[in-house]
Amino acid sequence: MPNNKSLFNCQFKGKPTPVYAALSQPKSENQVVIFERLKDLYRQHWSFLDDDFCEKFPRETNRRYWELYLAHFLSHQFTLKPPKKKKNNPGPDFCFQHEGKTIWVEAVAPTSGKKEENTVPDVIYDGRARKPPKEKIILRYQSVLDHKGKVKFKEYQEKNIVKDDDIQIIAVSDADLPRWSMGDTVPYILHALFPIGDYRIEINRNSGQSVGEGYGYQEERLNTNNAIVGYFFQESNELISGVLYHASHMGDLVWDEWEDINKNQLYFIHNPFAKNPLPQGLFKCGHEYTANYDGDGGFIINYAPLAP
């Protein structure tokens, strides 16, 4: 049955986000482009979204954009099942089959946080170089990963929607975080998933030459709830097969190459301890990471570049 609702003419309660307020009455050429592309994406993929998606979009614009883009990305690679997210039939955001396995995808976009000491600050463009708040960003990832894995997926299992031998994936987006949240050479999301420390260079004090460099091992990183960051290294998370991470923002829709930009900013990171592992290359996204032990007490993170 066709859905006649539009992202920009539905009834909703509460205060809209500044992004929604601007796009609902676009004034600039860029705003018009984003406005039209959002409407087109919704027309294509509304059947895979929550019944109340339109009502939530004005108040949770960036987070709901992530679900919309995820529906677009997944539906072009897999045959998505009808959503099990109705009021009387809850379930993860997306579901599809692959080689006889049921794969569930639960989407989340962390916010900057509410507690002042842990809040990720906005980027200030004043010409001064500023150090990204790396630890705060990593802990925001950890918070949503914990909630989705230990609360939401557990709830779906208790309701017999998700089975122990199903593939469980958490899809995390930076859409609701400041632009500097992605990180540098190693995306910050990897620091939340693996015990990766800071980049170090070892210098010979006599010669002054570098004799080794690389990322160190992070013994532990505690959040305000004393939860250890290193998500994949916690045995309780073995049912999470991997994390699909998105570093793009809604503003990228303005570019003619937005499809390629979004694809290039998608990462899939495999859980090396997953009870139900996924085959490498399943998701045709921009980047892929696997990990395995090096036989000497450490582990090696393997990177695969842009998929064809």
For 72, residues 6+ apart whose C-beta sits below 8 A from its C-beta are 41, 44, 45
Pairs from 255-262 (Cβ < 8 Å, separation ≥ 24): 258/37, 262/69, 262/73
Q: Quick one: tokens of 18?
A: 């500044």
Rounded Cα gap, residues 80 and 96, in angstroms: 5
> pTM for the complete prediction?
0.88
Q: Which residue has the tokens 């090096």?
A: 294
Report the amino acid identity of residue 106.
E
Decide if 118 contacts 78 (C-beta within 8 A).
Answer: no
- Give me the pLDDT at residue 1, please: 41
Side-chain-facing half-sphere of 219: CA atoms under 13 Å: 0
Pairing of β 299-304 and β 240-246: unpaired
What HEC string does the chain produce? CCCCCCCCCCCCCCCCCHHHHHHHCCCCHHHHHHHHHHHHHHHHHHHHCCCCHHHHCCCCHHHHHHHHHHHHHHHCCCCCCCCCCECCECCCCEEEEECCEEEEEEEECCCCCCCHHHCCCCCCCCCCCCCCCHHHHHHHHHHHHHHHHHHHHHHHHHCCCCCCCCEEEEEEECCCCCHHHCECCCEHHHHHHCCEEEEEEEECCCCCCEEEEEEEECCCCECCCCCECCHHHCHHHCCEEEEEEECCCHHHHHCCCHHHHHHHCEEEEECCCCCCCCCCCCCCCCEEEEEEECCCCCEEEEEECCCC
- Give me the pLDDT at residue 2, please: 45
Decide if 162 contacts 112 (C-beta within 8 A).
Answer: no
- Residue 205 vs residues 124, 182, 209, 211: alpha-carbon distances, Å: 39, 34, 8, 10
Rounded Cα gap, residues 162 and 119, in angstroms: 33
- Give me the pLDDT at residue 247, please: 87
- Give me the pLDDT at residue 124, please: 54
- Give me the pLDDT at residue 128, please: 58
Rounded Cα gap, residues 208 and 128, in angstroms: 31
| pLDDT tens, N- to C-terminus, the chain (308 residues) | 445 567 888 888 889 999 999 999 999 999 999 999 999 999 999 999 988 899 999 999 999 999 999 999 999 999 998 765 555 557 899 999 999 999 999 999 998 876 656 677 665 554 554 666 788 888 889 889 999 999 999 999 999 999 989 999 999 998 888 776 666 678 889 989 988 766 566 676 676 666 555 566 666 555 555 555 688 988 889 999 999 999 888 989 999 999 888 888 899 999 999 999 999 999 988 999 999 877 776 778 888 876 55
- Give me the pLDDT at residue 94, please: 95
Rounded Cα gap, residues 143 and 304, in angstroms: 27
